[in-house]
């Protein structure tokens, strides 16, 4: 990476870091481009150059959050020897992440905002597809390990994502232990229909 590319990346990181703090403090709607300009000490042109608009900047932060989550999960996934245990571990990890992540409230605002440009909808759809692919791979491992008796893996991956997405919304009003219990119960209910009976 040459010096100009380095400076470009530093500017992009500076904007993203400043925006993350503002979105966490003020929420998505209340944070204006001018606020980010002031906090990052850069021009509005820099923001538009790197992220196109406020939506693009927030999507960048969400994608970054997804990468962080993936890395954290990969670091702990080996603690769970079976796919069943991985599902419980993943659900618990999701619950704690959603309860504690500073962008959770702003993300709710962002996703509930009805007006989104087509390219933003496309990036959101790509993120959702990534979640479903992740679920599908996890469930496929359970089939390969002879833990699950499943015919429609892609359908179950969507159901699992929908279940976790719904829990994500409801658990916001719960205390930590209540939320964890709800996520565990959800996995209990989900697995009841697909765990291969032991003989």
Render pLDDT for 120-157 as a digit per residue (tens, 0 to 9).
889 999 999 999 999 999 999 999 999 998 889 999 99
Cβ-contact 63, 80 below 8 angstroms: no
Residue 198 within any structural domain of the chain: no
Rounded to the nearest integer, the mean pLDDT of the chain is 92
**Count of the separate structural domains present in the chain:** 2
Do 44 and 66 fall into the same domain?
Answer: no
Give buried/exposed letters for 18-41 (b at 16+ CB in 10 A, else e): bbbebbbeebbeebeeebbbebbe
Do 6 and 96 fall into the same domain?
Answer: no
Domain containing 155 — which CATH number?
Answer: 1.10.357.10
Confidence class of residue 79 from pLDDT cuts 50, 70 and 90? very high
The answer, yes or no, to whether residue 66 has pLDDT greater than 80, is yes
Q: What is the sign, positive or negative, of the torsion defined by CA atoms of 57, 61, 63, 64?
A: positive
Render pLDDT for 169-182 as a digit per residue (tens, 0 to 9).
888 889 999 999 99
Last residue within a domain, chosen from 51, 69, 86: 51
Give this prediction's pTM. 0.88
CA distance 87 to 163: 13
Residue 167 within any structural domain of the chain: yes
Tokens 């470009």 identify what position?
Answer: 8
Do 23 and 121 fall into the same domain?
Answer: no
Name 135's Cβ contacts closer than 8 Å, sequence gap at least 6: 156, 157, 158, 160, 161
Cβ-contact 180, 96 below 8 angstroms: yes
Q: Which domain holds residue 169?
A: 59-193
Domain containing 4 — which CATH number?
Answer: 1.10.10.60
Residues in the chain: 199
């Amino acid at each position: 990476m040459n010096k100009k590319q380095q400076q470009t990346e530093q500017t992009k990181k500076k904007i993203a870091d400043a925006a993350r703090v503002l979105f966490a403090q003020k929420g998505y709607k209340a944070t204006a481009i001018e606020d980010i300009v002031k906090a990052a000490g850069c021009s509005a042109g820099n923001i538009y150059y790197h992220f196109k608009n406020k939506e693009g900047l927030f999507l960048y932060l969400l994608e970054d959050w997804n990468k962080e989550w993936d890395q954290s999960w990969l670091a702990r996934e080996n603690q769970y020897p079976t796919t069943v245990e991985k599902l419980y571990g993943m659900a618990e990890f999701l619950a704690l992440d959603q309860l504690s992540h500073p962008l959770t409230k702003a993300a709710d605002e962002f996703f509930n905002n009805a007006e989104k440009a087509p390219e933003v909808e496309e990036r959101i759809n790509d993120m959702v597809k990534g979640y479903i692919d992740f679920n599908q791979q996890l469930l496929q491992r359970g089939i390969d390990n002879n833990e699950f008796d499943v015919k429609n893996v892609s359908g179950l991956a969507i159901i699992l994502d929908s279940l976790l997405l719904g829990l994500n919304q409801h658990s916001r009003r719960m205390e930590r232990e209540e939320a964890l219990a709800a996520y565990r119960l959800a996995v209990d209910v989900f697995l009841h229909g697909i765990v291969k009976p032991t003989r």
